[in-house]
Structure 1
Amino acid sequence: MNKQIAFIDVETTGMSAEGSEVIELGVMLGEFENNRIVRVTDEYCEFQEPFQSIPSTITRITGIHDRMVRGKSLDMNKIISILSQADGIVAHNAAFDRGFVSRLLPETLDMDWYCSVRQIRWKDYGFENGKLQQLLNAHRIDVKQAHRALDDAKNLAVLLNHSHSKLAEDATFISYLMEKNPLKKPAGLRR
């Protein structure tokens, strides 16, 4: 049976897990075969109403405002159902996403997480930095909506399906990442 990889992204009310809340979570489960994601096997995206009003700076970045999230909540059973099928969870800046996701679903702490920012040295491949939107642009990946959870998760999967002349023959960024050791559990997030 082929591996399943979950690509996850969260949009939040702030830049740190302390004092900020998830307002949107998107996850895409992809089948990994022959060094690439070959098909989407499941996906989920939903808003979650925070306890406080969404700051205007977050609305400017994401386009998400209070009316969009009013009365919405995440289906934790659906999210854990998707993640429990995954052989690995990939996030672009996993320390950020993992911090929020593990507060919602502590069982994700025991899952294998990978970071497409810190575990791939994008500068070694000729890219200015590891910022997702710049990498997507450099790879000519059409972005319909930046800084939206499911779109960013799906675009990350497309990005990581690319190969590079500095990678081994037939390798892609996702196959390179899956050969790495999973990230260690952060000390402050242990169950």
Structure 2
Amino acid sequence: MRDEEDMAALLESTGRYRVLRRLAPRAAYHAPDGTPTRRAVFIDLETTGLDPVADEIVEIAMVPFDYSDDGRIFAVHESFARFRDPGRPIPPEVSAMTGITDAMVAGAAIEPAEIEAFLGDTAALVVAHNCSFDRRFAERFCPAFAHLPWACSWAEIPWREEGFVDGTKLVHLAAACGFFHEGHRAVHDCLAGIELLSRPLPRSGQRALAVLLSSARAPRWRVRAAGAPFELRESLKRRGYRLGSRRARRAARMVRRPARKRPRGRERLPPPRDLPAGRSRSRSAPSRRLRPLLRSLLIRLAIGPGGAIGGRVLKDSKVVSSGAAFRRAGVPVGRSSPKIRSDLTRGRTR
């Protein structure tokens, strides 16, 4: 082993080589010295996809470790690493990335009670490298995670400002620190994350875990631009706002049409939709999906009992806007027309 290290050091001394060493898990980083410690759990999940509602967990790994308030890591405890059968075939692209196959997870199960028992009453913090992904899956699977504070080692440590310019994924950070591990396997990702947290950052000299704890303890406020007009999308992005979920973006399109009041607190951010070249969007023109409904409603209003044109049939069913269609059909458009147009645009009738 000493000979291997000597050879690696010789190669690195030439300045023409960089040697990456395989991560060797450690049972402790600092010896106990009487400093009060707390228990954190580094968690990583492998799933069948990115949607916490539609996709399922196929592997859960958790590695507990003790830490002090100044960011030192002491003991690293026995890990929890289990497969889980998602009840459906694992997508080929997920198997190619993680190495997890249907045969490996067949019949495997994890109960939420097992997770709660592993966390116990000692866990003071949950750490993940991308909380926005792992947390949603974890809290949906086991409610105990919803009662614990979380910290994100990806978003809450300024890796790029510290010189990690090649990327902030675990594999990139590990390579920059001179080691490699078996990526996209949950327990190995946890151990790599703990290794990164134990090291001082190259520019500030602070321990990575100390920076993470300082960020996680700071108060935060979430500002939502609910109901923001579509025209302000680019301005909001420049100010650091992020578009909401796909479902929220679909609902946000209604901001551009007359609509009834919505419950407070819901995101209504507009979607980044691009129209094909040569086409433009008219605010007064209904969408394609509403045109068949508008045609049928106009005909019913026009030729039904009490209709303005009696038994006449609309010859031209092409709808440009609701007001124009009424005028072509001979229907008088008076003071009530805005209300009618509003109802029709929403696909409602009185």
Give the TM interval when normalised to the shorter protein. 0.7 to 0.9
SS in 2 for 1:11: strand
Determine the C-alpha separation between the residues in 2 that align with 1:27 and 1:92. Answer: 12
Question: Taking structure 1 as reference, are residues 88 and 70 closer, same or farther at Cα in structure 2, changes over 3 Å only?
Answer: same
For residues 142-162 of structure 1, the C-alpha deviation after alignment (integer angstroms, 9 at most, x for no partner) is 31x210111101110001111
Q: Does residue 87 of structure 2 align to residue 51 of structure 1?
A: yes
Superposition pairs of residues 58-73 of structure 1, within 5 angstroms: 58-73=94-109
Distance 1:37 1:57, change over 3 A: same
Q: Secondary structure at the match of 2:63?
A: strand
Name the counterpart of 2:132: 95
The whole-number CA distance in structure 2 between the counterparts of 1:82 and 1:141 is 29
State the distance in 1 between where 2:150 and 2:64 align: 14
In the alignment, which of 211, 216, 220 is matched to residue 181 of structure 1?
A: 216
> What is the alpha-carbon distance in structure 2 between the residues aligned to residue 94 and residue 116 of structure 1?
8
Q: C-alpha distance in 2, partners of 1:70/1:80? A: 23
1:86 match: 123
The number of residues matched between the two structures is: 184
Q: 1:141 to 1:79 in 2, by over 3 A?
A: farther
User: CA shift at 1:77, angstroms?
Assistant: 2.9
Q: Given the alignment of the two structures, is residue 22 of structure 1 paired with residue 57 of structure 2, yes or no?
A: yes
Shift of 1:5: 1.1
Q: Deviations over 1:105-155 (max 9, x none)?
A: 122112100001111121111112311110011111231x21011110111
The 1-side partners of 2:38 and 2:179 are apart by 24
Match of 2:266 in 1: none
Counterpart Cα distance in 2 of 1:165 and 1:59 = 35
Q: 1:136 aligns with which of 145, 155, 174?
A: 174
In the other structure, the counterpart of 1:10 is: 45
Task: Report which of the two has the higher share of strand.
Answer: 1
Cα distance in 1, alignment partners of residues 185 and 204 from structure 2: 29
Q: Distance in 1 between matches of 2:116 and 2:208?
A: 26
CA–CA separation in structure 2 for the residues paired with 1:181 and 1:43: 23
Contact kept, 8 Å, 1:11 with 1:24, in 2: the verdict is yes
TM-score normalised to structure 2 length: 0.49
Partner of 1:119: 156
| Residue 270 of structure 2: aligned partner | none
Note the residue ranges of structure 1 that are not aligned, 5 or more in a row: 187-191
Cα 1:58/1:88, change in 2 over 3 Å: same
Q: Please state if 1:36 is matched with 2:72.
A: yes
Letter in 2 for 1:110: H
The amino acid that maps onto 1:141 is F
- Superposed CA RMSD in Å reads 2.2
Contact 1:120–1:177 (Cα < 8 Å) also in 2: yes
Unpaired segments of 5 or more residues in structure 2? 1-35, 223-350
Task: Give, in whole Å, the separation in 2 of the partners of 1:181 and 1:68.
Answer: 36
Query: 2:44 and 2:90 mapped to 1: Cα distance?
Result: 18
Once residues 114 and 76 of structure 2 are traced to their aligned partners in structure 1, the CA distance between those partners, rounded to angstroms, is 16
How far residue 180 of structure 1 moved from its aligned partner, in angstroms, is: 2.0
Shift of 1:48: 0.2
What TM-score comes out, normalization by structure 1 length?
0.88
Name the structure 1 match of 2:32.
Answer: none
Other-structure match for 1:189:
none
Moved more, 76-85 or 112-121: 76-85
- Change over 3 Å in CA distance of 1:82–1:166 after alignment to 2: farther
Give 4+ residue runs of structure 1 displaced > 6 Å after superposition. Answer: none
Aligned identity (percent) is 30
| Cα distance in 2 for residues equivalent to 1:82 and 1:124 | 36
Residues 78 and 43 (structure 1 numbering): CA distance in 2 closer, same or farther, change over 3 Å?
A: farther
> What is the distance in 2 between the residues matched to 1:40 and 1:76?
23
Higher relative contact order (CA 8 A, sep 6+): 1
Query: Secondary structure in 2 aligned to 1:123?
Result: coil
